[in-house]
Amino acid sequence: MHSSLLIWFTHIYTEERQVRMADLVILFLTLFPGLCIADLSGNLALGAAAVQSSTYDYLGAAQNGIDGNRQSNYFLGSCTHTAGGSNPWWRVDLKKAHKITRVRITNRGDCCAERLIGAQIRIGNSLAYNGNSNQLVRIIGYIQPGGTQTFDFTPVKGRYVNIFLPGLNKYLTLCEVEVFAD
Residues 19 and 78 in one domain: no
pLDDT at res. 6:
44
- In tens digits, the chain (182 residues) has pLDDT values of 444 444 444 444 444 444 544 455 555 555 655 454 555 559 999 989 999 999 999 999 999 999 999 999 999 999 999 999 999 999 999 999 999 999 999 999 999 999 999 999 999 999 999 999 999 999 999 999 999 999 999 999 999 999 999 999 999 999 999 999 98
Structural domains counted in the chain: 2
Give the number of residues written for the chain. Answer: 182
Q: What is the pTM of this model?
A: 0.79
Residue 154's CATH number: 2.60.120.260
Q: Count other C-beta atoms under 10 Å from residue 140's C-beta.
A: 18
Beta bridge partners of 50: 92
Residues 87 and 166 in one domain: yes
Domain with 3 in it? 1-35
Residues 41 and 31 in one domain: no
pLDDT at res. 86:
98
Q: Provide the 8-state DSSP code for 14.
A: H
Residues 66 and 93 in one domain: yes
